[in-house]
Amino acid sequence: MRFYLGAHHPHWLERAPFPLFVSHRQLAARRRLPRAATRWAVDSGGLTELRLHGRWHTSAAEYAAAVRRYRDEIGSLEWAAPQDWMCEPFMLAKTGLTIAVHQAHTVANARSRPLLTG
């Protein structure tokens, strides 16, 4: 088992001696990305996206392209979290959708594209 420390500062990737979990939302707007000194994973930022917009504002294609950019420019990317639809009561209230619909969206999104190929 590997533990990834959540990091809200992308530049930590340049010097952390342990695996990090960095949000796509923190990386997306950066022109220059850090070069990773450690293994890391990217969080889709879903909790914030759904909380702010009540839906995914970032398309699956945009997220996949961003993940490929992170893999290529930052390096050492081990995996990327899917664009999931959380099922907590506060999130269901925000979207106005049911658990079944959230689960269907999550599964459909995970099947829509491989994140770390080509």
Q: Is the dihedral of CA 88, 98, 109, 26 positive or negative?
A: negative
| Euclidean distance between CA atoms 1 and 11, whole angstroms | 25
> pLDDT tens, 73-103?
999 999 999 999 999 999 999 999 999 999 9
Q: Indicate the domain borders of the chain.
A: 5-112
Instruction: Give the DSSP letter of residue 31.
Output: S
Residue 22: is its pLDDT beyond 80?
yes
* Cβ-based burial of 62 (10 A; exposed 0-12, middle 13-18, buried ≥19): middle
| Euclidean distance between CA atoms 63 and 2, whole angstroms | 24
Q: What is the pTM of this model?
A: 0.86
Residue 10: is its pLDDT beyond 50?
yes
| Euclidean distance between CA atoms 2 and 59, whole angstroms | 29
**Assigned token pair, 73:** 């420019």
Whole-number pLDDT of residue 111: 72
> pLDDT tens, 37-67?
999 999 999 999 999 999 999 988 899 999 9
